[in-house]
Structure 1
Amino acid sequence: MSWPDTWRKRITYVLLAPIVFPLFLTLPDVRRPDRRKWFPITFTGSICWIAGFSYLMVWWANQAGETIGIPDEVMGLTILAAGTSIPDLITSVIVAKKGFGDMAVSSSVGSNIFDITVGLPVPWMLYSAVNAGDPYEVSSDGLLCSIFLLFIMLIAVIACIAISGWKMSKVLGVAMMLLYLVFVTLAVLLEYGKIACPKL
């Protein structure tokens, strides 16, 4: 936690201070040999901090969306989706630089599958459990088309990877980014009702 010696690092230090200082004060640094035995506390505390930061991020995004007039569905497709994917991006970059390309891809795919199969149903189950078994209603005019669009995008991604010879390249990266922009654009148009979609 010493003061950096360059201006670039100092700016980063100041910007990250509101996040780093609470972590520094509450989580033992298990990188130090004399504190490795405290790893359960650090692990549990890290999960608690992630939950707290996630709650604040969702709350701030919701407030910003209401202030600007952006629907919750659009905020989820754009701001929240990007914010929650940054840790996956950092993890994938780190392992890819170490030469574990397969692990980077598996991490990205696995995290999204976990979000869909665990991150969504568990809160809904808890909501139903504390509300006498009442289901949680999901309201989205473009939900059916969004799911269909997601399926089409998955096929397009697999096709791009196959065309590139199952090798990660800059061209494939650009193609992936273009596909993402197309997906977000169409999904936002669906949510705003610019594209007609049958309701569930």
Structure 2
Amino acid sequence: MIVNDRIQRCEEYIRSPRRPYAERKARYQAAADRLYLGGLSNLDILVDVGAGLTELDVCLRVEHGWRGRYVPVDGWLDGVDLNTWEPDRAFDWFAALEILEHLKDPGRLVEVLQKRATRGLVVTTPNPEIWDVLAMDATHLTPISRDMLEEWGFQTTLHTFYGKYQDGITGLWLQNADKQAP
């Protein structure tokens, strides 16, 4: 696909009707909590993979007073295809919120981010034990289970993101496994 076509498709997706930030804030708050549990500091650089409207940045800065460097990566910004994208260099943290279920091979992106993260990686995804993830959105390609995330080395927690009890999963992966968060 030509980059301009990908940008246009992503632009249409990002502008599609969605719930207000206040209703989606639970996923950003859960990710922020995991980041801070893992040791996020004001000296860190966080790359938000699939950043969308950069609402994780809003949550971190407004709700937590975070002053680190935030780098958004998203197809609507520059046409990046997350099915093949790899960061050019290492960064402290990566976040991939509500992204993995949109990929053909989410394990590939997780592996790449784990290799490039000097501190850690946080992810969120709908819980396939509660939702038919593929039916939630036509762009959803791969349900991501809690077991799958744990096999990839994440510590997982369940949250309420969409209005049903424990309908979302948050995963925290830290570069130094011996320093895993409690």
Same-fold call, TM cutoff 0.5: no
- Higher-Rg structure is 1
TM, length-normalised to structure 2: 0.23
TM, length-normalised to structure 1: 0.22
Higher relative contact order (CA 8 A, sep 6+): 2
| Higher share in strand | 2
| Higher share in helix | 1
